[in-house]
Chain A
Amino acid sequence: MKQESKTSFSWRKVTESRLFFPFSALALILLFDLIFVPGFFNVQVRDGNLYGNLIDILRSGSTVILLAIGMTLVIATGGVDLSVGAVMAISASVAALMINPYVLATQLSPETQRLISDPNFTNQPLWVVVPVTLIVASLCGLWNGILVSYARIQPMVATLILMIAGRGIAQLITNGVRIQIFYEPYSFIANGWVIVPFPLYIVAFMFTLTWLLTRRTAIGLFIESVGVNARSSFFSGIDEKRIKLLAYTFCGFCAGMAGLVASSNIKTSDANNIGLTLELDAILAVVIGGTLMAGGRFSLLASIIGALVMQATTISMYAIGVPANAVMAIKGLVVILVILLYSEQVRNVLRRLTAQRKEA
């Protein structure tokens, strides 16, 4: 009797660990692939670079992961940022415009036409394009932050404004033109390969940076504190508004990164489609990672695993030939399963069922 309670206690400890559910969901999906998709785990080496389904999951998941990193901090403060998809589109437009502003002219001389198609041509070098784009994206985040913390608008409403206006702004920036990007260094951001795809380095860098910022300084503690109880935090001397401002600005910055990767991937500024509905994927990734929408405790790693769960589902479905439209439904199914496992009600039922089985 005593022993059993001891083992069940430690089991509980494992199941209540932050990473348990995201990891087991990911493991389940990969297990599914192992059984049903022959060769899913194959990794090829070409020119010293790695290719395969697993690599694909990581590469194509990188935009959602980047969004999820920023979204985690915003959700941890008790907010949400619906505008990240639109901010991605804005960043794409800003970057494309800096690389190739000539397409906005109505008539291009054949000479210019030839010039801008050159893979080395750009109006601004990469080291200007990237920082300026990230600054613009951060300003978008700052705008959200000001609305939420100083104007005291509910996060969902405040960020909805930019979600709707953002794509319009992105169109205005490029005058409604889809700017094609021929600049080779720019397309390297998403399409480059250094043993593994280059976006993975960006993700690794952003994860490390964010982890250090939140866990090696007091920012993480303050974010969690504000998310749990903003009033108590204020009474304890934490500038609750500044923390929120910081979180939204950083989330904008992450969306800017994601925008760079996404536009580099398709080599164009497509204001209508870049990052479309990705804000929802990012939110779901964070939720699968176990951060409560009400705010409070967060885990960056769990959010990233959450994002991978979403991406792995998509790629696996494609691999077994499920049509693209139906994939959305399957994704929904995976999400609801994970979320149900987080529900205390469902857990209690499961616990009771397993306890009954033990007795029987």
Chain B
Amino acid sequence: MADLSDDIVTMEDIHKSFPGVQALEGVDFRLRRGEIHALVGENGAGKSTLIKILTGVERPDRGSIIFDGKEVNIKSPQHAQDLGISPVYQEINLCPNLTVAENILIGREPMKFGGIDWKTMNSRASYILDGLDVDIDVTQTLGSYSVAIQQMTAIARALDISSVKVLILDEPTSSLDVHETQELFRVMHKLKNEGIAIIFITHFLDQIYEITDRITVLRNGRLVGTYPTDSLPRLELIAKMIGRSLAEYDDMKRTKIESSQNIKKGDSLLDAKGLGLSGSVEPLDLVLHPGEVVGLAGLLGSGRTEIARLLFGIDKPDSGEVNVGGQQVTDHSPIGSIARGVALCPEDRKAEGIVGELTIRENIILAMQASRGFFKYLTLQQQYEIADRYIKILQIATPSADQPIKNLSGGNQQKVILARWLATNPQILILDEPTRGIDVGTKAEIQKLVLSLAEEGKSCVFISSELEEVLRTSHRIVVLKDHKKVTEFPGEVDGHKIMQAMAGSEQ
């Protein structure tokens, strides 16, 4: 029993700096055996860096790590795994075209007569998954299963690699639905009871309170403190994370109600009639008025993103028509949309948003320059002016506009992408999951930004899987289900009604 109260990991006075950024400054972190420990903080607080140090990806500039009673110098991810520290990363590094068993045992396939012993492999994979109470056919390709199962497979792989003592789950629930999340939590509980310590990184406060024992809060590379979860009220936690008051949220509600007066119901910035693409979006009507924020609510896979792609011209519709500013759209393409004053902040920031190696400045001017063409090249001075202006307005945390965007935290990257679109001075801004994986403080900033854009007479389409957020920002909410528009609600609707519509129980 005394063993259980012991620390499995003790990190002391950890320092780490990257060029231009002090990522961690004297951070202490203690993890006990058999606890679920939330690691929280805004983007750029230093969570990822701390995890990278613990998993041997980065080395600390200063500080000590004691693992299982012994001081260790973790040299590489392999070394960390040998010790029993297993990360399950945010971007799930699995191969959807291989079978579940292959994914679990990849690189460590059991061999027989110089070939892979498939029978042993499959039975071992099943056995590991059984341990997690997951009962699936391991010979099916991973891609045919839900994201939750894929997540479990990643955990199973982590468990199989070594005798795991510390499991690190980095945003494991960001793409899971409620049911799948519960499934994951059940597994986490089971592992906890087996004495495994779990570091749980998430932006969902509900989940922190649901499952964790203790919380460590980081802010700007420093430790704020470690607290037992049940003694830290939610509002206090948020205050500790963002270091500022929550009155902003109330302000926002007021702004939204006030700004709804400005909506020009008579005009339309965008008018889609019967717009659809077979296999992607069922024909639907959608009108955007000046000064209006329209929320798209629906479950994952309900067609939210597909509508955004149609409106912006990534995909070409095969039925219906769109009128933007009274003109019928004939050339469905991003460049055409930009010229018409339509902007899309895409869902997948890493794959469709940022251009990693390029600097913040270049990322910000990219769409603007694209609309100007090859030869009306912005001078370097103009580029810096634009970039510095948006760095200031959006409070992008960076030492200079010349940092590669890949060095920024997720929230700051998102701000750069927003800046890219604001620089094109759009009339219609489509935001697909603009706050995914972003800290509470930046979330509020982005939501406020959306409302202030509406006040300027622009129109926004706001897509988010967080219903509360849609409710907070939208003047009107369109509910989607199975690639179809189900119904529309005014912005002051009760959240339960929307959920019912999303689930389809109205029909």
Contact = CB atoms under 8 A, between A and B. Distances in A.
B358 A224 contact: yes
A232 B374 contact: no
Given A218-B377, A236-B334, A224 B366 contact: no
A221 interface: yes
A238 B363 CA distance: 12
A217 interface: yes
Nearest to A295: B357
A217 B369 CA distance: 10
Contacts of A218: 369-370, 372-378
Contacts of B420: 236
Contact of A234 (B334, B373, B376): B334
B354 A233 contact: no
Interface string A225-237: 1001101111111
B274 interface: no
Interface stretch (B45-53, B160-168, B345-353): B345-353
A130 B233 CA distance: 79
A217 B377 contact: yes
B409 interface: no
B351 A232 contact: yes
Interface string B183-197: 000000000000000
A244 interface: no
B181 interface: no
A296 B357 contact: yes
B63 interface: no
A235 B377 contact: no
A167 interface: no
B367 A236 contact: yes
Nearest to A16: B19
A225 B374 contact: no
A235 B371 CA distance: 12
Contacts of B367: 236-237
Contacts of B386: none
Interface in A210-253: 216-219, 221-222, 224-225, 228-229, 231-239
B178 to A, nearest CB: 30
Which bracket fits the contact residues of B? 20 to 34
B434 to A, nearest CB: 14
A199 to B, nearest CB: 29
A318 to B, nearest CB: 39
A235 B309 CA distance: 10
Contacts of A236: 334, 355, 366-367, 370, 420
A229 B354 contact: yes
B98 interface: no
Given A235-B314, A237-B335, A229 B371 contact: no
Interface in A292-310: 296-297
A210 to B, nearest CB: 14
Nearest to B346: A235
Interface in B353-411: 353-358, 362, 366-367, 369-378
Contact of A237 (B334, B355, B358, B375): B334
A16 to B, nearest CB: 10
Given A235-B346, A237-B334, A217 B366 contact: no
Given A231-B351, A231-B352, A232-B352, A237 B374 contact: no
A325 B354 CA distance: 48
Contact of B356 (A217, A219, A229, A238): A229
B24 interface: no
B353 A228 contact: no
B40 interface: no
5 closest A-B pairs by beta carbon, nearest first, are: A237-B370, A237-B335, A236-B367, A237-B338, A236-B366
23 contacts: A216-B377, A218-B372, A218-B377, A219-B374, A221-B358, A221-B362, A222-B369, A225-B358, A231-B351, A232-B351, A232-B354, A235-B334, A235-B352, A235-B353, A236-B370, A236-B420, A237-B334, A237-B337, A237-B370, A237-B371, A238-B335, A238-B366, A239-B335
Given A224-B357, A233-B366, A236-B367, 17 more contacts: A217-B377, A218-B375, A224-B362, A225-B355, A228-B356, A229-B351, A229-B355, A229-B356, A232-B351, A232-B355, A234-B314, A235-B314, A235-B346, A235-B352, A236-B355, A236-B370, A237-B338
Interface of A: 216-219, 221-222, 224-225, 228-229, 231-239, 296-297
